[in-house]
Structure 1
Amino acid sequence: MALPDEPDRDVGIIELPSWGRVVATGGVVPYEVLDDDGQPIEPIRRYLRDFVAQGRRPGSVRSYAYDLLRWWRWLRAVDVEWDRATSAEVRDLVLWLQRATKQRRTARTTSAATAGTINPITRKLHPGDRYQPRTIRHSNAVLRAFYEFWIERGAGPLVNPVPLQRRSGQRPNAHHNPLQPFRPEGRLRYNPPVPKRRPRAMSDQQWKNFFGALGSDRDRALVAMVISNAARAGEILGLRNGDVDWGDQLVRVYRKGSGAEQWLPASAESFVWLRLYLDTIDTLRADDPLWWTLRHRRRADGELVRQPLNYDALRAVLRRVNDLLGTNWTMHDLRHTAALRMLRDKNLTLRDIQIILGHAHLSTTQLYLEEDPEEVIRRVHEHLLRPALNEQPAPAPPPGRAYNAADLAVLFGDQPR
């Protein structure tokens, strides 16, 4: 039987061209993908406009834009039009991502020695130069959604080039419980398996070292707030002066994804540091950002001005602390630490912790219930220091023969006491 024609590519020798770029627009659609002539790529522009209309955050738009730019570069490398793409192109892109090295704007400097290695203090993996399985899965999800958008509008290929992997002989949702939401019909065929990640928390001593390495009251207030209420980095950076309830020691955050408003408790210590920090800056209005940093103006005078603290500036704070301690902690590690601390409190239920963490599903919160390997090792060490359960105590030596005290007095005489 004749097999269908299929391109036979050597993905190992393919190099993506440095074609096109993602730019911030500041408009309704915060990011656009431009070609080499500086013109928006029309299929991507229309899709991102629809994507924003669904209520997506700017960070998600930026992430989708970069995945689609990589796809367009790949199509140019293999000489295929976007509306003629098949599952063969998606499969070959996945094969290429599994062995390719990330494209970097600048070469690594100090991080070159640690890339892809395990930090001996945190036992966390340093970011490497290879694409991780989660990156590949995200790329596949973006491409499938992009082509679903165009297929619904009668454009693009007839069949989505990112196929689903269904079990043979089974109807999707055949045994669906009407009281439960529908599950996805199947996983994407070219999705690589993802290793199960365990929440990583700081020990009490590591937290003290981390907090002691911070250089300003602003940084101390920010991380003390996160360690007490497990807010995400984007949520805590989005705080405004009017989002602080000093009387009840609450802060109002807007949840990632849904944008829902929620008040979270914070520790008294974090409010002390927050007051010390606010005493060093000018009076803020209710709608002013809470966190500020000093930056040089991009002018000849180089004057220092206050600007809202953004994620890149916060990463610079963490980078200075990590360089000082030899660690690789992130803001999300603080969130994990706060969650695991709450789990150890017998007065808090799992449902309480789910609400504080902002998880939509309880199953996500249950990931924190897994045993910490370091705690298991500590308990086993304690076990090894104790005698084995089946080990009988050594028999006591037999008592010596008793002597009559009067006889000893006759023999040795009365001894002074």
Structure 2
Amino acid sequence: MAVFDEVERDVTRIVLPRWGGVAWVDDPVPWLVVDDHGAPVEPVRWFFRHLMAQGKASSSLRSYGYDLLRWWRWLQVIEVEWNKVTTAEVRDFVLWLRQAKKPRRHPRTQSASTAGQVNPVTRKKNLGDGYEARTIRHSNAVLRSFYEYWITDQGQGPLVNPVALDRAGRRANAHHNPLGPIRPEGRIRYNPKLPKQQPRAIPDEHWKKLFAGLRSNRDRAVLELSVSNGARAAELLGMCPVDVDWGEQKIRVYRKGTRAAQWLPASPDAFIWLRLYLAELGTPLEPNDPLWWTLRRRDRGDGLRRQPMNYEALRAVLRRANVLLGTNYTMHDARHTSAIRMHRDDTLSLRDIQEILGHAHLSTTAETYLAEDTDAIIRRVAQHLAERERRAAQPPPSVAIGYDSADLNVLFGGTSR
């Protein structure tokens, strides 16, 4: 009988404490993971300095921070030092994530009955209370990168990376071409499988209803810009008046991750709604001011003022429209809609769509956004079945003069008259 040294944990009974947090600081490294006393967690702080020097975006550091904060809370519960963990701790952590519920500041109210359910109108699944497969995979990738930095670059931490790769018995780069670069091989061992992603285009009739449900010209301008060129919500919210070329009808966005500037075309309707929004705003904007502002004025200690529109405010815009229509659309659905509309246009190549969407690899465009729409396949098959029924209901063709219908039936195995 085998004897195991590792501790067997009942992950169903583990509850993570509300310890520490992710804090913004006015520093070249703008995000920190801090403990209950506000002191930075030093291993994470040095890791973030490494990432910022590599050119990572500030938003990426914030995302990494929440993954590492959750990991530090886990280490406190299981009472293991960060530099002494093994694959067993990572395995148990993934098992805990697969069955745990996400902490919420406030309990669900209106969305409690629809959490995790499929919306009958959009056929999209609402977010549930647990951790999705993509969240777990992202957490594993962050942890592997964190330990890779401390083991490889600093020579500290565990002897081996606890977030192991599963190479199925193969040696890494066993058939590597010596003329090419060395690439990491193998998937992370405890990564859950992802369901096949389906395109999330908004049908034209639903798009008209969604657009009509918006309350302001500002909201209509944002959505029309997004659906005309597929720009991400964060890229649109980062725009300034100087990023709008009225003559050429283009807008400039700064791409997610690389922060590279790129000019994108936009529809004439988008510029009409944008012009109406700026006219209603009243206050002239400076060239480098934020382009999007809240409609209501708030007092933040310096009098009633409009505030720059953030992502939470934009989510609230979609949330109000979804409640009105009984849907669960998001801003990213507008990006999917734009990609699929461009794909259906024979004048645009796949390379054109890749450039407009800002993808580094053509495979991302082809596999993620341009997968065959299941609903479209069902409609085509339904048309095929209806056509078969129509042909079957038609009377058999008449036999030409001079031929015997009985002989033709024997010859061709059919029915004629």
User: TM-score, structure 1 length as denominator?
Assistant: 0.90
Deviations 1:351-390 (A, max 9, x none): 1101001111110111233221111121222222223598
Alignment partner, residue 110 of structure 1: 110
Q: Distance between the aligned counterparts of 1:182 and 1:200, measured in 2?
A: 36
Q: Which moved more, 1:245-254 or 1:16-25?
A: 16-25
Alignment partner, residue 148 of structure 1: 148
Q: Is the 8 A contact 2:199 2:370 kept in 1?
A: no
Alignment partner, residue 403 of structure 2: none
Q: Distance between the aligned counterparts of 2:196 and 2:349, measured in 1?
A: 24
Q: For residues 76-95 of structure 1, what are the structure 2 equivalents within 5 Å? A: 76-95=76-95
Q: Distance between the aligned counterparts of 1:262 and 1:298, measured in 2?
A: 34
Q: Is the 8 A contact 2:202 2:334 kept in 1?
A: yes
Q: Read off the aligned partner of 1:287 and give its amino acid letter.
A: N
Alignment partner, residue 39 of structure 1: 39
Q: For residues 16-415 of structure 1, what are the structure 2 equivalents within 5 Å? A: 16-151=16-151, 152-168=153-169, 170-176=170-176, 182-281=182-281, 282-293=283-294, 294-299=296-301, 304-367=304-367, 368-388=369-389, 391=392, 393-395=394-396
Q: Against the structure 1 CA distance between its residues 180 and 114, is the aligned structure 2 distance closer, same or farther, given a 3 Å change threshold? A: farther
Deviations 1:30-77 (A, max 9, x none): 221111122111111111122222211122111111111111111111
Deviations 1:194-227 (A, max 9, x none): 1111120011101100110111111111111111
Matched-pair identity in %: 59
Q: Against the structure 1 CA distance between its residues 83 and 264, is the aligned structure 2 distance closer, same or farther, given a 3 Å change threshold? A: same
Q: Distance between the aligned counterparts of 1:179 and 1:201, measured in 2?
A: 42
Deviations 1:87-139 (A, max 9, x none): 11101000111111111111111111110000111111111011111111111
Which secondary structure does the structure 2 equivalent of 1:112 belong to? coil
Q: Against the structure 1 CA distance between its residues 222 and 40, is the aligned structure 2 distance closer, same or farther, given a 3 Å change threshold? A: same
Q: Against the structure 1 CA distance between its residues 388 and 2, is the aligned structure 2 distance closer, same or farther, given a 3 Å change threshold? A: closer
Q: Is the 8 A contact 2:224 2:270 kept in 1?
A: yes
Aligned-pair distance for 1:396?
Answer: 7.3
Q: Which moved more, 1:106-115 or 1:330-339?
A: 106-115
Q: Read off the aligned partner of 2:387 and give its amino acid letter.
A: R
Q: Against the structure 1 CA distance between its residues 309 and 181, is the aligned structure 2 distance closer, same or farther, given a 3 Å change threshold? A: farther
Alignment partner, residue 411 of structure 1: none
Q: Is the 8 A contact 2:227 2:337 kept in 1?
A: yes
Deviations 1:286-326 (A, max 9, x none): 11111111331135x9x531121111111111111111111
Q: Distance between the aligned counterparts of 1:198 and 1:261, measured in 2?
A: 29
Aligned-pair distance for 1:393?
Answer: 3.7
User: TM-score, structure 2 length as denominator?
Assistant: 0.90
Which secondary structure does the structure 2 equivalent of 1:252 belong to? strand
Deviations 1:265-295 (A, max 9, x none): 0000100111111112221121111111133
Q: Which is higher, the Rg of structure 1 or of structure 2? A: 1
Q: Against the structure 1 CA distance between its residues 333 and 179, is the aligned structure 2 distance closer, same or farther, given a 3 Å change threshold? A: farther
Q: Against the structure 1 CA distance between its residues 319 and 390, is the aligned structure 2 distance closer, same or farther, given a 3 Å change threshold? A: closer
CA RMSD of aligned residues (A): 2.0
Q: Is the 8 A contact 2:19 2:35 kept in 1?
A: yes
Aligned-pair distance for 1:391?
Answer: 3.7
Q: Which moved more, 1:284-293 or 1:24-33?
A: 24-33
Which secondary structure does the structure 2 equivalent of 1:71 belong to? helix
Q: Read off the aligned partner of 1:312 and give its amino acid letter.
A: E
Which secondary structure does the structure 1 equivalent of 2:168 belong to? coil
Which secondary structure does the structure 2 equivalent of 1:273 belong to? helix
Q: Distance between the aligned counterparts of 2:299 and 2:245, measured in 1?
A: 33
Aligned-pair distance for 1:178?
Answer: 6.5
Alignment partner, residue 406 of structure 2: none
**How many residues are matched?**
395
Alignment partner, residue 407 of structure 1: none
Q: Distance between the aligned counterparts of 2:334 and 2:31, measured in 1?
A: 30
Aligned-pair distance for 1:392?
Answer: 7.9
Alignment partner, residue 413 of structure 1: none
